[in-house]
Structure formats: C-alpha cells, structure tokens
Chains A and B, each alone.
Chain A
Amino acid sequence: MTMRTANRLVPFLLVIGALMFIRAPFMIDAAPYESTMGLVQKIFYYHVPSAVFALLSAFVCGAASGVFLWRRTPTADRIALAAAELVVVFGAVTLITGPLWARKAWGIWWDWEPRLTLTFVLWMSFAGLLMLRRFGGPGSEVMAAAVGLFGAVLAPFVYWSVNLWRTLHPTTNVVMTLQGDMRTVFFWCLVAFLFLYVALLLTRVRVEAEAAALEEAYAALED
C-alpha cells in the first residue's frame, strides 16, 4: 500500500475513531464498578489504551529507526519521527491519568516503583529524541535513530516490569481476566485508540513528506 492510498484512509479512520470516542463515555458510565477501587478504576479504559499505543509507537519508532540506520530511506526517518512524537503524546496521557488514578487508589500521586519509573524514562527518551531532531542540526537524524532504537529496547521492560517486580501497579493479567461489560468497554476503547493512532501516524508522516517537498521547492526557487 502506497502512502497516497494510506492517506486516503485517514478521514475514514478519524471519523470512525471520533464516533467511537464519543460513544465510549456512555459505555464506560454503564460499565460496572471494580470491587476494590470503585469508580476511579474507570480511568483504566483510557489509561491502558494510551499506554498500549505509547509502547506500540516506541516499537514502530525503533523499527523505522533501524531501517533508517541500515538503508537511509527518508520514509523510514519520517515514520520514526512521527512515531516518536506519538510516544510523547500517548505517553503524556498515560503519565497524567496514572497519577490521578493512583491518588485515589493508592493514596499517593507517584511512587518510584519500576513500572512508573521505566515509563517515565521511556517518555523522557522520546522527548529527548524530539528535542534532538528539533535543535540537533544537520546529522541529528542518525543520533535520533539510535535513541529510537534504545527506546524500543526499553518498551518490553516497561511492559513486563509489573509482572517481574510485582509492586503497587496492577499486573498485565488484569486485561486478560476482564469480565463481561468491562471487557467489551475496554476493547471498544482500544479499537478507538487504534483508529486514532493509525490516522495520526499517517498524517504526521504526510506532514513530514510535504515539509521535505517544500524544502526542495524552495531550493529550486533559489537556483
């Protein structure tokens, strides 16, 4: 599938994603309370999908960075940059909604336990990557690609940290053991985030491609 064909999908993905997002709060409201945490557990329905797509985006960025370091294709570089930006956006949502949930459920806003700390380090790595791209000057794309690879290596540690260290944070098992309406609502939100994520990634890549075309056009104008 070419980028042009992929870009044609964006409006459909955005409309379907937006409709699902609008429906989601009604479904979340109707979903049952969790037995130990009560209402505040409902943050889960947006917190976890945003974390899932932050980690997925880290993998996308790492893969694209690897391809860029190997083949030096501009498309790989654009995908890596777009994915890194989405790690920062979805990661920020995760890092803000998490403490709101923690304050009520654990009685504290933040704890330097492995899951939270690793998520913060991952977010900082990709924020650093974006700073490098913005202010690093010529050649910074190669260094940024190396940072992208590092971030992608970190992502599995973030995912497994709750199962390995077993601290305050719920384990990954909670998703697979969800029951009835809780399960339906969670997967509804996950699919809504998926549509949104793909649409945003494609659009961000398109912005970069058009910015590169603009630079070429300016160079031709100066000749």
Chain B
Amino acid sequence: MRRLHRIWIAVVALAWLAAPVLAQVQPGSPQESFQPARPEDFGGERLPATPFVFVAYAVVWVAVFGYVFLMWRRLNRVERELADVHARLSSRGR
C-alpha cells in the first residue's frame, strides 16, 4: 500500500511539473480539418506521393502480419513444449 502511495505521489508530481509547460500555448496554424478534393488537382506535383503511400502501407502490412506470424509461431512452440513436458510427467506417474 505504501508503494502504491509513493507511485501516486510521483504521478501527481509529474502532472504538476508539466502544468507550466502546458500553459505556454504557442500560436501557429496547424491543419484543423481535411477537405475532399479531386485527383486531377494534384497532377503537377514535383515530389510524387505514390512511393510514400505505397511504402507506408507496405510497412503496416509487414508489421501487422509479421507480428501475427511471430506470435503464432511462439504460441505453437510453447504449446508443443508444454504437451511434451506433460507427457513426460504423466509417463513418470504424476
């Protein structure tokens, strides 16, 4: 309980220290909304967007399906090893 209390104090202290930084709102003009347009309006771009979009989507697919594959392999290995150890335990009469 004392440990949890200390952690709570650390969290509150962090939020308190961050307050002055957050209070300094800087002026700027970030984009506030996305407006639809037609592909023809972007015909003369100097830096083509297609390779960036293609690589970005490839990264997502490789990362997601790569991770699913790794997880599936890890799960299979653990399950196989667990079945093997259980079999050895039951053969020893436990």
Residues of A participating in the B interface, judged by any CB pair closer than 8 Å: 14, 21, 25, 32-36, 38-44, 46-47, 50, 66, 69-70, 89, 92-93, 96-97, 100-101, 103-104, 146, 149-150, 153, 157, 160, 162, 164-171, 173-174, 177-182, 196, 200, 203-204, 206-207, 210-211, 213-214, 217-218, 220-221
**Distance between Cα atoms of A179 and B35 in the complex (Å):** 8
Partner of B81, one of A35, A104, A214: A214
Most buried by B among A50, A101, A211, A214: A214
Q: In the complex, are the beta carbons of B49 and A211 less than 8 A apart?
A: no
* CB neighbors of A among B50-83 (8 A): 50, 52-53, 55-57, 59-61, 63-64, 67-68, 71-72, 74-75, 78-79, 81-82
Measured between alpha carbons, how far is A21 from B63 in the docked complex, in Å?
13
CA distance A206 to B14 in the complex (A): 34
Q: Which applies to chain A's interface (DSSP): helix, strand, loop or mixed?
A: helix
Q: Say which residue of A70, A168, A178, A200 sits within 8 Å of B71 (CB atoms).
A: A200
A-B contacts, 11 listed (Cβ < 8 Å): A25-B57, A33-B37, A33-B38, A34-B35, A38-B37, A39-B49, A42-B53, A166-B29, A168-B30, A171-B32, A217-B82
Which of B41, B67, B74 lies in contact with A38, CB distance below 8 A?
A: B41
- Pick the residue among A25, A160, A182, A220 that contacts B94 (CB under 8 A): A220
Q: Which of B53, B85, B92 contacts A218 (CB 8 A)?
A: B85
Q: How far is the CB of A116 from chain B (nearest CB, A)?
A: 13
**Interface contact B89-A39, CB-CB below 8 Å:** no
Query: When the two chains form their complex, are residues A43 and B4 in contact, meaning their CB atoms are under 8 A apart?
Result: no
Q: Provide the residues of chain A in CB contact with B31, threshold 8 Å.
A: 36, 170-171, 174
Assembled-state Cα–Cα distance A204/B78 (Å): 12
Q: Across the interface, which residues of A come within 8 angstroms of B64, CB to CB?
A: 21, 89, 93, 196
B75 and A206 contact, CB distance less than 8 A: yes
Other-chain residue from A153, A181, A203, A218 in contact with B75 (beta carbon distance below 8 A): A203
Interface residues of B (CB under 8 A from A): 3-4, 7, 11, 14-15, 18, 22, 25-39, 41-42, 45, 47, 49-50, 52-53, 55-57, 59-61, 63-64, 67-68, 71-72, 74-75, 78-79, 81-82, 85-86, 88-89, 92, 94
Which residues on the A side are within 8 Å of B52 (C-beta)?
40, 43, 100-101, 103-104
Known: A166-B30, A206-B75, A213-B82. 7 other contacts (CB 8 A): A32-B36, A39-B42, A93-B64, A149-B11, A153-B15, A164-B25, A179-B35
B contact patch SS: helix
Most buried by A among B15, B47, B56: B56
Residues on A with C-beta less than 8 A from B11 are 149, 153
Decide if A35 touches B85 in the complex (CB within 8 Å): no
In the complex, what residue of chain A is closest to B74 when comparing beta carbons?
A: A207
How far is it, in angstroms, between the C-alpha of A166 and the C-alpha of B82 when the chains are bound? 53
Residue of chain A at shortest CB distance from B79: A210
Nearest A residue to B11 via CB reads A153
- Cα distance, A218 to B36, chains bound together (Å): 60
